[in-house]
């Protein structure tokens, strides 16, 4: 059974699962934005970028002939950690009392069109008062809370792939010269 899970074709399926999961997460975000009319803040957009990045790495791994490489899951894990860090910052901002929350700034579109890129990037990475607003929750978790859960899942699946790749490489002798 363990050998079946470590088979290169099976590892490729895990990458496809990761990519599909990232696509689903972005589809949910777009649904919330365009159907539920929830305007994403700067940190929401930053978290989306990292979900997309994990998905792109997973898709690249799935398409690659070197899908058993340890590089793909390691990069995916790093991206999930960074994205999770932004989720944690977002949760922290939402937990601040109103008098301690940062002031609301202009919309992200305005920033990107009218403010130097470095300043806009700073808002994307730090968040502002718009990020402190909690507009939706499910089972007591707000959107960044659920996004953190997603990043933990993406990290764990990449970690599983990495462990299976390492296990597979230890079980099979190296025949490449």
Look at residue 1 in the predicted model and tell me its pLDDT.
45
Contact present, 68 and 22 (Cβ < 8 Å): no
Fold annotation for 2-171: Bromodomain-like (1.20.1550)
The Cβ-side half-sphere exposure at 1, using a 13 Å CA radius, reads 0
- 173: number of Cβ within 10 Å: 6
Sign of CA dihedral 107, 110, 112, 114: negative
- 27: number of Cβ within 10 Å: 10
Per-residue pLDDT of the chain (177 residues; tens, 9 = 90+): 455 555 556 777 888 999 999 999 999 999 999 999 888 887 888 899 999 999 999 999 888 876 667 889 999 999 999 999 989 988 888 787 777 666 666 666 777 788 787 777 777 666 666 666 777 667 888 889 999 999 999 999 999 888 887 776 565 555 544
Sort 94 into a burial class: Cβ within 10 Å, 0-12 / 13-18 / 19+. buried
Between the alpha carbon of residue 33 and those of residues 87, 112, 125, 152, the distances in Å are 18, 19, 20, 23
* Residue among 155, 106, 124 nearest 44 (CA): 124
pTM: 0.78
């Amino acid at each position: 059974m363990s050998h079946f899970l470590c088979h290169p074709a099976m590892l490729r399926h895990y990458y496809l699962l990761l990519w599909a999961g990232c696509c689903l997460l972005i589809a949910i975000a777009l649904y919330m934005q365009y159907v539920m009319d929830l305007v994403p803040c700067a940190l929401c957009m930053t978290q989306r970028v990292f979900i997309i990045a994990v998905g792109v790495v997973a898709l690249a791994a799935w398409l690659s002939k070197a899908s058993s490489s340890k590089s793909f899951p390691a990069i995916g894990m790093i991206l999930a950690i960074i994205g999770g860090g932004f989720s944690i910052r977002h949760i922290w901002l939402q937990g601040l009392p109103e008098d301690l929350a940062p002031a609301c700034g202009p919309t992200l579109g305005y920033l990107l069109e009218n403010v130097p890129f470095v300043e806009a990037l700073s808002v994307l990475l730090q968040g502002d008062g718009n990020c402190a607003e909690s507009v939706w929750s499910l089972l007591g978790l707000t959107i960044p809370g659920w996004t953190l859960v997603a990043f933990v899942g993406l990290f764990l699946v990449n970690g599983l792939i990495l462990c299976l790749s390492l296990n597979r490489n230890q079980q099979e002798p190296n025949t490449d010269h």
